[in-house]
């Protein structure tokens, strides 16, 4: 079992203009279209941050269409140089007021060693 100092969980909510069904459909069945919706951050499904390209190969672990939920596990790429495991769960819900949705992002990870920042 991993030490609690090596494991972490980050959660964030992000408001979007799309419906829960549209967002879920894209991430669950058309991830190659993601870069069309947030072209300023994702180009060709390669994430760019601070001018350095980052790559991650992911597998879809779970899809729950009733809950608009998708879970990915990173299996290769830059993240795996610092993390033993990295799992991303995305669940989208309609906003309580007005149009659009709220995407709840959950990142769960285990670092390779204590020298890696959260």
DSSP-assigned states of every residue in 71-114 = EEEEEEEGGGGTEEEEEEEEEEEE-SSSSSEEEEEEEEEEESST
**pLDDT computed for residue 17 by the predictor:** 87
pLDDT of residue 22: 78
Name the pTM for this structure.
0.75
* Residues 23/16, Cβ–Cβ less than 8 Å: yes
Predicted local distance difference test score (pLDDT) of residue 24: 77
The pLDDT of residue 30 is 62
Give the pLDDT of residue 46. 47
Domain locations in the chain as residue ranges: 7-111
Cα distance between residue 101 and residue 13, in whole Å: 10
Supply the pLDDT for residue 76: 93
Opening angle at CA 27, ends 22 and 32, nearest 5 = 110
**For each of the chain's 118 residues, which pLDDT tens digit applies?**
456 889 999 999 989 888 888 777 776 666 655 555 555 544 455 444 565 667 788 888 999 989 999 999 999 998 899 999 999 999 999 998 888 999 999 999 999 999 887 6
Superfamily the domain 7-111 falls into? START domain (3.30.530.20)
């Amino acid at each position: 079992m991993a030490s609690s100092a090596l494991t972490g969980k980050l959660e964030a909510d992000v408001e979007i203009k799309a419906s829960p069904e549209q967002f879920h459909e894209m991430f669950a069945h058309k991830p190659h279209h993601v870069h069309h919706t947030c072209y300023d951050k994702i180009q060709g499904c390669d994430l760019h941050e601070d001018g350095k390209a980052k790559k991650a190969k992911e597998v879809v672990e779970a899809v729950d269409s009733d809950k608009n939920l998708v879970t990915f596990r990173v299996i290769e790429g830059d993240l795996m140089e610092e993390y033993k495991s990295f799992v991303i769960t995305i669940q989208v819900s309609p906003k309580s007021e007005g149009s659009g949705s709220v995407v709840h992002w959950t990142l769960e990870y285990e670092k390779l060693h204590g020298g890696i920042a959260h």
